[in-house]
Chains A and B, each alone.
Chain A
Amino acid sequence: MNIQADVALIAACQQGDTRAIRETFEMYKDRVYALCRHMAGNAEDAEDLTQEVFVSAFQHLNNFRAESAFGTWLYRIATNHCLNRLRKKRPEIHSFDAMAEVDIAPPAPGPSPEDMVVRKEMNRRMELAVAALPENLRAVFVLGTLEGMRYKEISEICECSEEAVKMRIHRARKQVRDKLKNYLEA
């Protein structure tokens, strides 16, 4: 994470300064949305989740202690909130296996309009593969592989050891890889 709200800005938020709250929102909204988008696997839920995460975070600002970076605290709220909501929602968004029946051509050499279609399809499949991951693996996969965070920060967000992050990411990536195997080999 390159962006981090400074202590003064967060202190102003804690005092209820609306302008500071807005500034903090603008600073983090894209990252939080991206996180929710990848966790939820679809845009509609991601929008609701992002809104809920910010409302919850701003309501509980007094619980933020400057022991961790504000971003880490916020992403922890976002991750837990998404996991919690996904647990409640359970009915699988789309079944990966059902999708697997739809055949797509392997990528053609050189750039072409088909490449764009294939790439889009790959992304969709990746999304489904991520959605099929068990929750604790999905969180680290999203944070580490899709959001590109370092293991240390993920361990702080997920409140586990870096070694646990490393193992979970490896496990998650192998599961996603196995789901996409036919296309990786093509």
Chain B
Amino acid sequence: MNCFTCENNLSAYVDDELTTDVRRDIEAHLDTCEKCHQEYETLLSTWELAGDMRTEAAPDGLWQAVEAELQQKGHNNTTTEDLALIVRGLASEIRDLKQTVDGLRHDLEERDNNKIDQSDLGSLVLQGRRRHAG
């Protein structure tokens, strides 16, 4: 497994969402790659910190508010809101796809850059930064 694939799978690895085969490949790679191992450690810490975020139980009196509003409004079967939900869902899918494509393009560019001589690396990084800043 290369660093590119390993890095992309690290959150899923932390979340235990990988197949046994992929998990073993990740572990083998982490054993030998300091860079990915560090990346893993910081993602794990983030996950642990997030788990520490305690959420209080819902406050009292919520049911009374819900009940009062339900009585006032009554049940309704209009689907306009549902249609709006669907449209919003589609819009977010499109945004997501665009982001995915952008991400893939970015990763591919990075990979191409890595193939090029070390001597060219400095100027490429600068170019890349300018491109991303722009």
Contact = CB atoms under 8 A, between A and B. Distances in A.
A177 B58 contact: no
Nearest to A34: B55
Contacts of B116: none
A173 B81 contact: no
Interface in A13-53: 16, 18, 21-22, 25-26, 29-30, 32-34, 37-38, 43, 47, 50-51
Contact of B46 (A37, A119, A144, A184): A184
B49 interface: yes
A146 B54 CA distance: 9
B4 interface: no
Contacts of A22: 63, 67
20 contacts: A29-B58, A30-B57, A33-B59, A47-B59, A51-B62, A55-B73, A59-B76, A60-B81, A62-B77, A77-B85, A122-B52, A136-B96, A145-B51, A146-B53, A159-B93, A166-B12, A170-B8, A170-B12, A180-B49, A184-B46
Interface in B13-45: 15, 17, 42-43, 45
A47 B52 contact: no
Contacts of A60: 76-77, 81-82
Interface of A: 16, 18, 21-22, 25-26, 29-30, 32-34, 37-38, 43, 47, 50-51, 54-56, 58-63, 77, 80, 83-84, 119, 122-123, 126-127, 135-136, 141, 144-146, 148, 150-151, 158-160, 164, 166-171, 173-174, 176-177, 180-181, 184
Given A30-B57, A60-B82, A145 B50 contact: yes
B46 A55 contact: no
Nearest to A147: B55
A160 B93 contact: yes
Contacts of B133: none
B62 A50 contact: yes
A97 to B, nearest CB: 17
A28 B25 CA distance: 39
A25 B100 CA distance: 37
A141 B56 CA distance: 19
A61 B10 CA distance: 39
Contact of A59 (B70, B89, B100, B103): B70
A93 B100 CA distance: 28
Contact of B47 (A51, A119, A145, A150): A145
A160 B62 contact: no
Given A55-B69, A169-B11, A127 B53 contact: yes
Contact of B58 (A32, A123, A148, A151): A32
B116 to A, nearest CB: 25
B65 interface: yes
Contacts of B62: 29, 33, 47, 50-51, 54
